[in-house]
Amino acid sequence: MLKAKILFVGPCESGKTVLANFLTESSDITEYNPTQGVRILEFENPHVASNAKGTGCEFELWDCGGDPKFESCWPALMKDSHGVVIVFNADLPSHLKEIEMWYSCFVQQQLLQDTQCLLIAHHKPGSGSDKGSPSLSPPLNKLKLVHSNLEDDPEEIRSEFLKYLKSVVSAVSERRDREEMSIIT
């Protein structure tokens, strides 16, 4: 069975933990409590298969603390990851600048494909859901950007996340197939 490791990264107070809990159907957290280091959530999704035979997939969602004081842990968190979801608060202009650094560290340094990265503009309850696209500089403007608003349209982010999981599994399966072929030939 294929096991895929997905990192949830981004600035402090962007909503990573709330989204991670929602998307993995874990417990609800009502009060803000900064993630210290990392939380690992394991889950399966019956709608994602790793091959034509319908073999299921297991996922590890690594909810990474956004505080720069954890930067020394980042190389360990990144090791063997298959995908990166960058979550930011679309209502804070400072987050737009910060996500460039997250992309550089977690996506570019790992040589992940853009299909293995997802940007989530998270709208907190009561913030109003301005779905206007934030102005993203290259290379961020090439990435898939989805808006999440768990109050107004929770199923939209769930379906977008499912599409993202399928693209990650596809990339991982292709890479594994290439590695197997290189061993054979």
Q: Where are the domains of the chain?
A: 2-183
Superfamily of segment(s) 2-183: P-loop containing nucleotide triphosphate hydrolases (3.40.50.300)
Does an H or E element contain 46, and which? strand 38-49
Beta bridge partners of 61: 6, 41
43: exposed, middle or buried (C-beta count within 10 Å: 0-12, 13-18, 19+)? Answer: middle
Q: What is the reported pTM? A: 0.89
Residue 160 pLDDT > 70, yes or no?
yes
* Residue 111, φ and ψ in degrees, nearest 5: 60, 35
Model confidence over 104-126: pLDDT tens digits? 999 999 999 999 999 999 987 77
In whole angstroms, what separates CA 136 from the centre of its chain? 18
